[in-house]
Amino acid sequence: QVQLQESGGGVVQPGGSLRLACVASGWSPNMYAMGWFRQSPGKNREWVAAISWSGGSRSYGDSVRGRFTISKETNGNTVTLQMNRLKPEDTAVYYCAVKPETYSRSSSYYTGSNEYDYWGQGTQVTVSS
C-alpha cells in the first residue's frame, strides 16, 4: 500500500513563496510519476503540475507556468512544488498524487486526476494580505 505524506502549506502574502513536499512510500522500486492538484471551495479539482518518475519530464498548468516549479529529489520518492509570486487565486487545498511506474515509462507524466492511483490528504495554502 502506497502512502503519501505532504507538508509545507500555510499562509503567505501575495507575491510571496511557499514550498510543498510530498514523500511516497510503499512501492519498490522508487519509481513514482507524481503530480500536484489543487481545489478551492466551489471549484473542480485543478491539475497544477506533473513530473515523470525519472524527473526528466515535467509539465505545468497554464495558471501556474512560470511561477511554480515541480522537482523530484534524488531519493526518487519525494516531490516538491516551489511556488513563487503567489496570488490570492492560488488559495486552495493542494493534493499530491502518485502513480507507481515501470522502468520503461521514464518520460511519462500525467495530467488527469483519474490517471493517478494514490492521493495525499491535502495541505492548505492561503494567499492573503
Q: Where are the beta strands (DSSP E) in 52-122?
A: 58-60, 68-72, 78-83, 92-100, 118-119
Contact 125, 14 (CB under 8 A): no
Q: What is the pLDDT of residues 64-119, one digit of tens each?
A: 999 999 999 877 789 999 999 999 999 999 999 999 888 888 899 999 999 999 99
| Neighbour tally for 123: CB within 10 Å | 20
Q: What is the pLDDT of residues 81-93, one digit of tens each?
A: 999 999 999 999 9
DSSP 8-state secondary structure symbol assigned to residue 4: E
